[in-house]
Structure 1
Amino acid sequence: MDWREVYGVFALMNLALCLPVHLWVASLSRRRGAPPSSRSPDPVTDARPAAPIAIFPVMLAGFALEGFVLSAILVHMVPLMGAVGAGSLGMLVPTLFGPSQVASRLLNLIFGGRLSQTLLALISAGLLTFGALALLAGAPSAPGLVAFAILFGLGSGLASIVGGTLPLELFGRAGYGARLGWITAARQVSAALAPFLFAVMMARLSIKGAIAGTIATAVASLLCFGSIAFWQLRQKAAAAAAPA
Structure 2
Amino acid sequence: MQSRTTTTVLLGVAQTLAWASSYYLPAILAGAIGKDVGASASTVFGAFSVALLISAAVGPVAGKLIDRRGGRPVLMASNVVFAAGLAALSQAQQPLHVFAAWAVMGLSMGSGLYEAAFATAVRLHGQQARRTITGITLFAGFASTVGWPLTAWLESSMGWREACLVWAGLHLVIGLPLNAMLPSAGRAARPSKDTAGEPGQQAILAPNRQHGVAVLLAFVFAAAWFISTAMAAHLPELLQGVGISLATAVGIAALVGPAQVAGRLIEFTFLSRVHPLLSARLATLAHPLGALCIGLFGSSGALAFAVLHGLGNGILTIAVGTLPLVLFGTQGYGQRQGFLMVPARIVQAGAPFLFGLALGRLGTAALWISGVLGVAACLALVGVAWDLRREGSRIRIPP
TM-score under structure 2 length normalisation: 0.51
Identity of paired residues, percent? Answer: 28
- 1:176 paired with 2:333, answer yes
What does residue 86 of structure 1 align with? Answer: 244
Distance in 2 separating the partners of 1:95 and 1:83: 17
- 1:166 paired with 2:323, answer yes
Distance in 2 separating the partners of 1:237 and 1:13: 50
Question: How many angstroms does 1:119 deviate by?
Answer: 1.2
Superposed CA deviations along residues 188-237 of structure 1, whole A, max 9, x for unmatched, are 2212211100111122x321331111112212212211211221232349
1:116 counterpart (275, 280, 286): 275
Which region of structure 1 is more displaced relative to structure 2, 126-135 or 145-154? 126-135
Distance in 1 separating the partners of 2:173 and 2:341: 21
Change beyond 3 A, Cα 1:20–1:213: farther
1:63 counterpart (221, 224, 234): 221
Which region of structure 1 is more displaced relative to structure 2, 93-102 or 39-48? 39-48
Q: Which letter maps to 1:74?
A: A
SS of structure 2 residue aligned to 1:130: helix
Distance in 2 separating the partners of 1:220 and 1:11: 40
Q: CA RMSD in A?
A: 3.3
Q: Which letter maps to 1:89?
A: T
Which region of structure 1 is more displaced relative to structure 2, 7-16 or 211-220? 7-16
What does residue 50 of structure 1 align with? Answer: 205
Question: How many angstroms does 1:139 deviate by?
Answer: 2.4
2:231 counterpart (65, 69, 73): 73
Contact map agreement 2:205 2:388 (CA 8 A) in 1: no
Structure 1 segment 82-231 matched on structure 2, within 5 A: 82-87=240-245, 88-141=247-300, 144-203=301-360, 205-231=361-387
Which region of structure 1 is more displaced relative to structure 2, 91-100 or 173-182? 91-100
- Gap runs ≥5 in structure 2: 1-27, 33-151
Distance in 2 separating the partners of 1:28 and 1:97: 33
Distance in 2 separating the partners of 1:233 and 1:218: 23
SS of structure 1 residue aligned to 2:341: helix
2:191 counterpart (15, 20, 39): 39
TM-score under structure 1 length normalisation: 0.80
Q: Which letter maps to 2:251?
A: L
SS of structure 1 residue aligned to 2:310: helix
SS of structure 1 residue aligned to 2:299: coil
- Gap runs ≥5 in structure 1: none
Contact map agreement 2:199 2:394 (CA 8 A) in 1: no
Superposed CA deviations along residues 137-157 of structure 1, whole A, max 9, x for unmatched, are 33212xx11110111111011
Change beyond 3 A, Cα 1:217–1:14: farther
Distance in 2 separating the partners of 1:93 and 1:224: 30
Number of residue pairs matched by the alignment? 234
Q: Which letter maps to 2:279?
A: L
